[in-house]
Amino acid sequence: MIKNYSLFAVILLLSFWHDAHAQYEDLVHHSYAEEIASLKNLHTRLMQLDSAAAYAKWREIKEFAYNQADESLALEMNLFWANYLSDKGKHYQKSLNLLAQTARRATKKEYLPIAIRAHKKQASIYWYGLEDYANAFIHFRKMAKLLKQTTYLFYPDKVLDLKMIGKAYYAFKDYNSAIRYLKAAVVIQETVSNSWALADAMNTLGLCYQKLKQYEYANKWFNRIDSLENDSTRKAWLSRVRGNIGQSFYQLGQYQKATPLLKQDYKHAEKEKNWNRSAAALIPLAEINLKHNNLLTAKGYLQKARRYISISKASDQLRLWYPVMSKWCSAKGQFSDATMYLDSTIEAIKNYDAKYNSLKSIKMQQRIKMQHQQLGRTRLMVENKSETTRKSLWIGAFIFVLLLLLLLHYRQYRRMSKRQLQLKNTKLSLRESQQKIEKASMELENFTKEVVRKNKIIQDLKKDAEAVSCSVRLETLRQQSILTEEDWEQFKHLFEKAYPGFIEKVKEKYPHITPSLLRYLTLAKLKLSNKEMGHMLGISSNSLQVTRYRLVKKLNLTSENPVEDLLNSLS
C-alpha cells in the first residue's frame, strides 16, 4: 500500500512538472523585447491571485526558471512578487528589500530591462507609497544611467521611463532637468506601444516651457502631438492639448483666443470625468469672465471648479482657485470674504511649496549624507593608518631583501645568457653566410648560361639577317620566353624583322592598347596555340582566355572570329 502511494506521488510530481514546463517554456531564454507582452500578461494574471496562491506561483515559476538555467526569468518573478507585496499588501519595506537585491543581481548579470524596472518600482514606492522624494530621485537617477546603456529596440519601455523621470522633475519645478529627459524620450521612434507615452512627454515638454514663460516653444510641443501617427492617441489628446494652448493664450492675456479652447477642454474633461483637468480649465475661464465683468458666469465657473477640486481631491488647485474667488468677492463688494480667500491663497501656496518645492532640500540632504560618509571613511583611514604603516615597514623590508637577491640572480643569469647567445649567433651567422655563397654561385652560373644562350641567338640573327628565311625567324620567335621586360624587347626586335610595321599599325589604330594585350596580339599573329602562348608568357591557359576576352571588349570587336579578323585587317 505504501509503495502504491509513493508511486502515485511520483506520477503526480511528474505531471505537475510537465504542466509547469508546458505553461512557461515559451518564456525561457528570450529577451525582454521578445516576451514583453507575455510577461506583462503573466504579471497581470498573477496579481489577481490571493496571497497564498500568488506566493506558490512565484516559487513554482522561480524553481522552473532555475531548472531551465534561466536566471533572468527567476529575477522577473522577483519583480512580480515585489509588486504584489507593495500593491496588494502594502508591505513596502519587504518589497524594497527584494527589489534592491534584484536590481543588484540584474545589474551584475547585465539584465538591463530587469535592473531598470527594479529601480523604477523602488522609485514609485518611495514617491507614491512613502512620499520619500529624496530616495525616489536616487532611483530615478539610477534608472537614467541604465537607460543610457540600452535602446528602445532592446527595451521597449524606454519612452515610458524617460517620460516618468521627466514628469518627476517637472513636479518639483526643475523644468530644465525635466526638459532634458523628456527630449531624450520624444526622439525615439513611435510605435503602437509607446505612442501614448510620446504624447504625454510632448505635452509635459509644452508645460515645462509654459512654466518658463516660453510660450512659443510651449505651443510648438503641444502642436507636435497632432503629428503622431496613432489616430486613437491623437484624438484622445486633442482637447487636452487645445486646453493647454488655451492656457498659454490666457497667460499672455489673449483672452479671445483662450476662451474657446478652454471651454472645449473643460467640457471634454467633464465627459471623461477628469475632474482635475476640468477644474484647471474652469478657473482661468472664471477669471476671464471676471475681467469682462460677467460676474454671474464667473461665479458659475468658480462653483463648478470648486466642486471638481473636492471630487478629485486635487487640493493643489486651490492655490489658483482662492485668488480668483477673492477677486470675485471684491467685485461684489464682499471685502471680508475677499480677505478671507486671500489668506486662504497664502496658506494654499505655502502648502504647495512645502510639498513640491523641496528639491533643493533633497539635494542638500544628499550632500550632507555624502559629507558624513566621506567623514566616516576619513576617520577609518586615520584609525587604520598606524597599523597599515607598521605592516608596510615589515613588508617593505622583506620585499627589499627579496629584490636584492633577485637582482643578484638576474645579473648572473644575464652574463650566462649573453655568452650563450653570442656563441649561438656566431654559429648562425657562419651557416647563413655559407648558404648565401652557395646560392649566389648557383644563380651566377644559371644567369651566365642564359645570357650566353640569348646572345648566341641574337648574334646569329645579326650576322645574316637577310639570308635567314622567314620560317627560321618564326621558329626562333616561337622558341622565345617572354617573362621579363628584357625578354619582351628581344622578342619584339625579332618580331619586327618577321612582320615589319605590324606593331606600329596596332598602336596607331588602337593608341590605348595595354602592353599585355599587345603581347597577346603578337603571339596570336604567330598562330601559336594557347599552350604555347602560356609556356612563353609563364601563365595558364585560363589566364590567356581572360586576356582574349579583355582584348575583344577593350577594342570593341564584334565579329564571329574577332581576333583572327583583326589580324587579317592589319596584314
Q: Is the per-residue pLDDT at 418 higher than 80?
A: no
Q: Which of 21, 115, 16, 23 is nearest to 68 (CA)?
A: 21
Q: What is the mean pLDDT of residues 487-497?
A: 82
Residue type, 128: Y
First-last CA distance in the chain:
113
Give the pLDDT band (50/70/90) at residue 442: low
pTM: 0.59
Q: Is the per-residue pLDDT at 201 higher than 90?
A: yes
| Residue 472, pLDDT score | 54
Residue predicted with more confidence, 311 or 561: 311
Q: Is the per-residue pLDDT at 261 higher than 80?
A: yes
Q: What distance in Å separates the CA atoms of residue 466 and residue 498, rounded to the nearest whole number?
A: 11
Cell of 126: 518611495
What is 426-439 written as a DSSP string?
HHHHHHHHHHHHHH
Measured in whole angstroms, the distance separating CA 415 from the mean position of its chain's CA atoms is: 57
Sign of CA dihedral 108, 109, 115, 116: positive
Q: How far is CA 571 from CA 186, 495, 496, 498, 499, in A?
A: 78, 14, 13, 12, 9
Of 119-128, 155-164, 273-282, 515-524, the range with the lowest mean pLDDT is 515-524
Cα within 13 Å of Cα(374), Cβ side: 6
Q: Is the per-residue pLDDT at 336 higher than 70?
A: yes
Give the pLDDT band (50/70/90) at residue 176: very high
Burial of 331 (0-12, 13-18, 19+ CB in 10 A): middle
Q: How far is CA 107 from CA 66, 110, 125, 149, 434, in A?
A: 18, 5, 20, 11, 66
| Residue 338, pLDDT score | 83
* Spatial contact of 102 and 78, defined as CB atoms under 8 Å apart: yes
Question: Tens digit of pLDDT for each residue in 278-305?
Answer: 999 999 999 999 999 999 998 999 999 9
Of 278-282, 424-428, 456-460, 511-515, the range with the lowest mean pLDDT is 456-460
Q: What distance in Å separates the CA atoms of residue 146 and residue 115, rounded to the nearest whole number?
A: 8
Q: How far is CA 272 from CA 231, 237, 266, 290, 537, in A?
A: 18, 12, 10, 27, 90
Mean per-residue pLDDT of the chain: 80
* Spatial contact of 181 and 165, defined as CB atoms under 8 Å apart: yes
Of 84-88, 364-368, 377-381, 535-539, the range with the lowest mean pLDDT is 364-368
Question: Tens digit of pLDDT for each residue in 73-132?
Answer: 888 888 888 888 888 878 899 999 999 999 999 899 888 988 999 999 999 999 998 989
